[in-house]
Chain A
Amino acid sequence: MGNTITDQQITKGLTVFDNIDGKLLTALNSCVHCGLCATSCPVFLATKDEKLTPAHKVDLVASIYKKYCTFSGKLFPGLVSAKAIDDELVEEMVDQLFGACTMCGRCNIHCSIGVDIEYLVRTGRTMLANMDKVPSTLQSTVDSALNTGNNMAIPTEEFVDTLEWLEEDLQDDLEDETAKIPLNEIEKKYLYTLNPREPKFFPLSISAMAKVFHVAKESWTLSTKMYDVTNYAYFSGNPEHAKIIAKRLDDEMEELKAEECVLAECGHGSRSFRWEAPNYLDKKLDYNVLTSVELLAEYLRDGRIKTDPNLIEEVVTLHDPCNLVRGGGVIDEQRYILSKTVKNFVEMTPHGTESFCCGGGGGHLAMSEYNERRMKMGELKAEQIRKTGATIVATPCHNCVDQLIQINHAFKLNVQIKTLAEIVADSIVINSEDKNRIQD
């Protein structure tokens, strides 16, 4: 095989090892090949392909580190499994790190010695991004966000038209003209962000959240400048792109002088802004960032909204988004919400921090070339869902919603997929006393 990778690309790729810290060094040097990660990984479980185990991915990234950054690897590469970067290796890395890992982090919690495998995959992706080797299908969504301000290239005017349309519907539904979807209002308690697929194709979750905000008498606003909670550069691995996207939301928080930032139901969006933005932006965010899941739970706990679980009688199960649970620490809130909003809740096995990825994580929905693996992973999830006997699957992540819609169709589950905001909105009870209080 010929070699088209230039020395310049290799040099750029290797910059991930500049200023290497203890965390990365530990991850690169500690794998003992016990094999526990393999049986925890949904890609391996779905494909039974030994080349697709998490340990194999660790080895790939470590082999490059050894080749270029260690004495023994430079002198005796064969002895320490050190590998030089060439076309073949890059192709394998793209296939493994982008195409066979949803960055779900389930391997991390099963690793016998605590290697942060997911972090190594991200490091490998950054290496590939630096070499300009991000799959074009994934890069396209990043570019869309960079060039237009949101990952679906929705023009602001069309966004505003959609929100006005939703506001009219909300007022009709509630028979209440005071119900609003506020835009660009300053000095509100919360700036709320959306996933662009909501205004573009699936706006019921916007109406649902607006209804909840209205009933809770919340002080909130949307921005017409920044309405994208996602950050696909978290998946592509390019920190410069991630910084540009994160900065927009940070700037808009300042512009609108909002007190706190509420992130819509989006696993990676929550993680990439709440936990990663301070790293991307190299500063501490001087406001609180929370997920809408936590806010919904708070409203219920504080009695700011009232719900009747008897209004949803169907059997409901819950899909835990990886980035919200293992990568976000939001585990009990969604269960608390369901305990207050549905009559028959059944957990999947396993669930919570042990939950299986739906298959759509890590940017996989964008990368159609890996569709077959994605749907094989989806089959694992389909079986989990089927065993619960549920007819509604709730999940606080729009990306998971899309994958679950496909799973539902492909494996004929006959379920409805809903966000938590939709579940809460469907079970809200407004009596005449409440109505007076809200309109006051």
Chain B
Amino acid sequence: MATIEIDGRTFDMDGDGFLINPREWDEEVARLIAKYDGIEEMNKKHWAIVNVIRKNWEEKDMAPMVRVICKETGVKLREIYQLFPLGPARGACRVAGLPKPDGCV
């Protein structure tokens, strides 16, 4: 576990920078993590994706399939990879404050 400081706020994160306590998450946290990843400004599409992920996690305790993200936000699959260069898991789910998903990610 590591404590990461971003713009004066400190968070407990795992070695991959996922929040240890997803309840600490709020929109400012999302902006800070995104900035840390080089996303200077979260646009409407970024937020739409993050909100779908967050909602799915609140309801089902897991990250949504990328199909669900595309369907509910209307963002095309290939564009998701451009919006979050680290991909839906290490990029978008991390910004959404989820714990690190299992598997090859």
Contacts and interface: CB of A to CB of B under 8 A. Distances in A.
B58 interface: no
Nearest to A162: B67
B67 A365 contact: no
A161 B90 CA distance: 23
Most chain A CB within 10 A, of B68, B71, B86, B104, is at B104
Given A154-B65, A203-B77, A371-B15, A197 B104 contact: yes
A366 B67 CA distance: 23
B86 A368 contact: no
A197 B16 contact: no
A366 B89 CA distance: 12
Contacts of A372: 15
Contacts of B88: 201-202
A204 B77 contact: yes
Contacts of A204: 77-78
B103 interface: yes
Contacts of B77: 203-204
Contacts of A158: 65, 67-68
Contacts of B86: 405-406, 409
B65 A199 contact: yes
Interface residues of B, number: 28
**B contact face: mostly helix, strand, loop, or mixed:** loop
A372 B78 CA distance: 29
Contact of B87 (A137, A151, A202): A202
A398 B89 CA distance: 14
A402 B18 CA distance: 16
Interface in B54-105: 62-63, 65-68, 71, 77-78, 85-90, 100-105
B14 interface: yes
A200 B102 contact: no
A144 B87 contact: no
Contacts of A291: none
Contact of B85 (A201, A202, A409): A409
A152 interface: yes
B53 to A, nearest CB: 11
A307 interface: no
Interface of A: 137, 140-141, 144, 151-154, 158, 161-162, 165, 195-197, 199-204, 230, 266, 365-372, 398-399, 402, 405-406, 408-409
27 contacts: A141-B102, A144-B103, A152-B102, A158-B67, A158-B68, A161-B67, A162-B65, A195-B104, A197-B105, A200-B63, A200-B101, A200-B103, A201-B65, A201-B89, A202-B87, A203-B67, A204-B77, A204-B78, A368-B18, A369-B14, A370-B15, A405-B87, A405-B90, A408-B85, A409-B37, A409-B85, A409-B86
